Structure 1
Amino acid sequence: MITFLISVTLLVLGFVFYGKFIEKFFGADNSIKTPALSRNDGVDYIPLPTWKVFTIQFLNIAGLGPVFGAILGAKYGQWAYIWIVLGCIFMGAVHDYFSGMLSLRNGGASVPELVGKYLGNGFRQLLRVFTLLLLIFVGVAFVSGPAGLLAYQTNGGFDIWVYIIFLYYLLATLLPINKIIGRIYPFFAAALLLMAIGIAGAMIANHLTGDFSMKELSLNTLKNVHQNPKQNILFPMMFIVISCGAISGFHSTQAPMMARCLKKESYGRYAFYGAMIAEGIVAIIWATAAMNYFGDAPALNEVMGIKDHNPAWVVDVISKDWLGNIGALFVIIGVIVLPISTGDTAFRSARLTLADMFSYNQKSIKNRLIISIPLFILGFILTQLEFSTIWKFLGLSNQILSVVILWTIAMYLLQTGKNHWFLSLPAMFMTSVCMSYVFVAPHANGGLGLNTTLGVAIGILFSVLSLFAFIYKGKNGRNLN
């Protein structure tokens, strides 16, 4: 239990101290008028209460990520604690904060436009395509998954639920942000937090009564205990599996949506850094529960090796055992509703990204339909793909996007005369993670399947070369302060 309590405490202290440092380092200034006030259009640019911005951002970036990803990451063992805590405080929360604040400083600009400003037009064009594809795939993944679960629960048709979910997504994408998202998201966010708090409370209570043992982190337990370690290599694969809760590029696509709703720059620490810390705490709770409920991490691997024993099954078993009927309700909300709450904002972000690309005003419903309908047609076509195919695309591409965003923020710091190492070091680390994954991951997981030592060496070399290229470009670039 000590490991769990220390992990949660460190995350909270990270928000209090490092979050405050990052806020001062960025230079949040309440005298600067935010886009929500200067560009209020009643649709996407709308000033919202800070607590509501926090809950929407938290739900946008969370969904099932810190639950399912943490459970899958727990199969690697107690290294998951270190990655979630350190990754969240020094990488993920900083990544999310700067994504939101740079968007806010640039009129609510979407990710490709920010990347283009600081890394050049070539990166802008590349990110326009890449980000759109990622957002559409996220939206599609969170149509297919919930539709399949709903069809199973109701004995209904898969296609019928796809139509219903798409109809909701269309409405959430088209209507002003305060009409649907602003009204129901706080309740869903509260459900996710209550679910996590309930699991944490039951876990601590059962441990204190002796009904449940929580293993502690030690040097002896810091090893890869995955049931198939040669196919599931600790570095880099665990760092791809656990994204939400540590660092996730998808978060940067959601931050501009909330940057258009903040009333003051000082609120950004709560909305962006704070939401990520909250997600990290949820991830720690579920990683701990999964790692210990069946006895230990090797036992988790054993039970999850049985057919249909996936993360959703783990959530179902733990929640119903510890929380009873209330747990069963949370399972329905968590496994079905929360993915939908990520899918709808993915499509909304795709609309905003396209609108920014073509400088196409979104105040009228007609203009929103012109952009949204082609997106949904493409999304519907992609639902015909196997869910596993869609999911494989998401894992690596999500972290590749985080790499680009980290280098973008580092370039902003370099070109404005600030210490870039706070971001360039995380950028180097994630570059080595992604490139190593490409070389060492098995073919079934989208990699080349090379020798681990060779593949990791190439990944590290690539990250060093990226640093040299970054410094060269930064010193020869113009000052953007």
Structure 2
Amino acid sequence: MTLFLIGLVILLVGGIGYGRYCEKVFGPDDRVTPAVALADGVDYVGMKKWKNQLIELLNIAGTGPILGPIQGILFGPIAFLTIPIGCVLAGSLHDYFVGMISMRNEGAQIPRLMQKYIGSGTNKVYNIIIWILMLLTGVVFIYTPGDLIVNDILGLDVNSGVIWVVYAIILLYYILATLFPIDAIIGRVYPIFGAFLIVSAIGVFVGVLFTGSADLHPITEGALISAHPTGQSFIPVFFITVACGIMSGFHGSQATLISRTVKSEREGRHTFYNMMLIEGFIAMCWAAGAMVLFNTTAALDTPATLVVGEVSRRFMGNIGGLIAIVGVIVLPITSGDTAFRSLRLMIAEQFNIDQKAPAKRIMLSIIIFIPALAILFFAKSNAEGFNLLWRYFGFTNQLVAVFALVLTAVYLKIHGKNYIIALAPAFFYTFVVISYICHAEIGFSLDARLGMDGYTVSYIVGVVAAVLMVLFVNKASSHNKDEILRLDNAH
């Protein structure tokens, strides 16, 4: 309980202080934002501050800050420190600067920002990765809420025919949310969804507080870092597993979406940075709830989706638990809809397809949803399909975040500002994603192939990659610097 409370203090105090520092580094002013200057009634729509904040929160808070921490707490109480520290220094910083840089560039999506500040070569690589991530995110956020609805709400087998009916309903909502103006559906239903989200998070938080410190202790041996039940290494696996509670590349696509609806740059810290802090709070609550459960009644190998229901009912009773489960179902749905919407905008920007015409929006949506359905069918029909989908989703998610941090570092260095605040987390996460994919079975299995124990070779490759990333930032920030400054100053 002590570490849990210390972590919450770090999240609150550290978040307020560092958020203000990040705001000072960027320097928001009173210039006209894209929501006003480029208003088109579809994607560029000025909305109220509270609505932008709520939509941003619901966009970024999928199942990641719940399922990730539930799995991450198996590494021990260290999660109560790494989640808030990472959220303050990396995740919130990532979301804030991506949103603000986009706002300074007419609400451009990250691929276009990559091309401007880093170059077309990097942009081509990034496009492939981010499009894959958006598809995987959309599919994951059809699969997980669908299964939760069938299992926890309807009480049916997730392999029954009903599951495809539920998938179809969720998909239909995604299609509508992708096609219609952002304030027509998303802006109207999110306040209702937000109520469920807040109730579920507060319910778990209060339940953890009243449980008492006796139930919050290491899951296995070890005072701070526990021996993972399946032998996973804390670094890098923890930071791939607990992605959305600490940092998530997916958030960048959502921040650029909301950059088109914010009417004042001075709202940026509250809209981008602070909403990520709230996601960190959600992650902390579910990590604590899972720890209580694992130390009392649940086996360590209980699937994370089942832990959600058990935690909800334990702390909130049957009725309150049902509300909490609905809140958890809402989270992925409110991320999946904007994942597909963001993908539509990215493709439209890449190929200069005007999105004011409904016919063109429909065409792009068809292109997006056909491969999404194919991936969903594979994941559901294959016994290991979803596990494979989730692992690649986690890795790709963090890899995309590295690109965004590199973009931020280059932007800040070009403008003569403190770029180290972005370069430091970029260095760490470059090491994390490279060492992970080098070692993992879904990657190169490098250590196993070379007959080495642990992560020996993978760690070395990770460090080398991180150093090369630093050199890349220095080189990229000097390329076309004068021209970029001229264009930015013209805005």
The alignment status of 1:359 with 2:352, answered yes or no, reads yes
- The separation in 2 between residues aligned to 1:191 and 1:38, in whole angstroms, is 34
Quick check: 2:77–2:217 contact (8 Å CA) kept in 1?
no
1:337 to 306, 330, 336: 330
- The alpha carbon displacement at 1:266 in A equals 0.7
The alignment status of 1:470 with 2:473, answered yes or no, reads yes
- The alpha carbon displacement at 1:331 in A equals 4.0
Which one-letter code corresponds to 1:292 in the other structure?
A: V
- The alpha carbon displacement at 1:449 in A equals 4.6
- The alpha carbon displacement at 1:294 in A equals 3.1
Q: SS state of the match for residue 310, structure 2?
A: helix
Quick check: 1:101–1:268 contact (8 Å CA) kept in 2?
yes
1:304 to 296, 300, 311: 300
Higher mean C-alpha displacement, 61-70 vs 151-160: 151-160
- The alpha carbon displacement at 1:157 in A equals 2.5
Which one-letter code corresponds to 1:186 in the other structure?
A: P
- The alpha carbon displacement at 1:445 in A equals 7.0
Quick check: 1:392–1:445 contact (8 Å CA) kept in 2?
no
Which one-letter code corresponds to 2:240 in the other structure?
A: I
1:223 to 219, 225, 229: 225
Task: Describe the superposition over 1:276-334 as per-residue Cα deviations: whole angstroms up to 9, x where unpaired.
Answer: 000001111111121233328xx86xx132xxx21121121121122113333224313
Higher mean C-alpha displacement, 325-334 vs 118-127: 325-334
> Counterpart of 2:429?
430
Higher mean C-alpha displacement, 3-12 vs 51-60: 3-12
- Give the structure-1-normalised TM-score: 0.92
> Counterpart of 1:213?
215
- The separation in 1 between residues aligned to 2:70 and 2:117, in whole angstroms, is 36
Quick check: 2:25–2:418 contact (8 Å CA) kept in 1?
no
Which one-letter code corresponds to 1:475 in the other structure?
A: S
- The separation in 1 between residues aligned to 2:180 and 2:300, in whole angstroms, is 41
Quick check: 1:392–1:446 contact (8 Å CA) kept in 2?
no
- The separation in 2 between residues aligned to 1:444 and 1:366, in whole angstroms, is 39
- The separation in 2 between residues aligned to 1:288 and 1:118, in whole angstroms, is 41
What are structure 1's unaligned runs of at least 5 residues? none
Relative to structure 1, is the Cα distance of residues 179 and 90 closer, same or farther in structure 2, using a 3 angstrom cutoff?
A: same
- The separation in 2 between residues aligned to 1:139 and 1:435, in whole angstroms, is 24
Relative to structure 1, is the Cα distance of residues 328 and 369 closer, same or farther in structure 2, using a 3 angstrom cutoff?
A: same
- The alpha carbon displacement at 1:27 in A equals 0.6
- The alpha carbon displacement at 1:43 in A equals 0.8
- The separation in 2 between residues aligned to 1:466 and 1:280, in whole angstroms, is 27
Quick check: 2:315–2:321 contact (8 Å CA) kept in 1?
no
Percent identity, aligned pairs only, is 38
- The alpha carbon displacement at 1:438 in A equals 1.5
Which one-letter code corresponds to 1:26 in the other structure?
A: F
Quick check: 1:437–1:447 contact (8 Å CA) kept in 2?
no
Which one-letter code corresponds to 2:477 in the other structure?
A: G
The alignment status of 1:388 with 2:387, answered yes or no, reads yes
- The separation in 2 between residues aligned to 1:473 and 1:343, in whole angstroms, is 33
Runs of 4+ deviating beyond 6 Å: none
- The alpha carbon displacement at 1:11 in A equals 0.9
Q: SS state of the match for residue 106, structure 2?
A: coil
- The alpha carbon displacement at 1:48 in A equals 0.8
Which one-letter code corresponds to 2:228 in the other structure?
A: H
Which one-letter code corresponds to 2:192 in the other structure?
A: F
Higher mean C-alpha displacement, 44-53 vs 321-330: 321-330
Relative to structure 1, is the Cα distance of residues 28 and 216 closer, same or farther in structure 2, using a 3 angstrom cutoff?
A: farther
> Counterpart of 1:201?
206
> Counterpart of 2:383?
none
Q: SS state of the match for residue 295, structure 2?
A: coil
* Aligned alpha-carbon RMSD (Å): 2.0
- The separation in 1 between residues aligned to 2:207 and 2:162, in whole angstroms, is 36
Quick check: 2:201–2:324 contact (8 Å CA) kept in 1?
no
- The separation in 2 between residues aligned to 1:95 and 1:253, in whole angstroms, is 11
Quick check: 2:52–2:261 contact (8 Å CA) kept in 1?
yes
> Counterpart of 1:92?
91
Quick check: 2:308–2:325 contact (8 Å CA) kept in 1?
no
Q: SS state of the match for residue 383, structure 1?
A: helix
Which one-letter code corresponds to 1:128 in the other structure?
A: N
What are structure 2's unaligned runs of at least 5 residues? 380-385, 486-491
> Counterpart of 1:106?
105
- The alpha carbon displacement at 1:405 in A equals 0.7
> Counterpart of 2:82?
83
- The alpha carbon displacement at 1:383 in A equals 1.2
Task: Describe the superposition over 1:221-275 as per-residue Cα deviations: whole angstroms up to 9, x where unpaired.
Answer: 222421122xx11110001001111111010011111000001001010110011
Quick check: 1:88–1:246 contact (8 Å CA) kept in 2?
yes
> Counterpart of 2:270?
270
- The alpha carbon displacement at 1:56 in A equals 0.7
- Give the structure-2-normalised TM-score: 0.90
Which one-letter code corresponds to 2:475 in the other structure?
A: Y
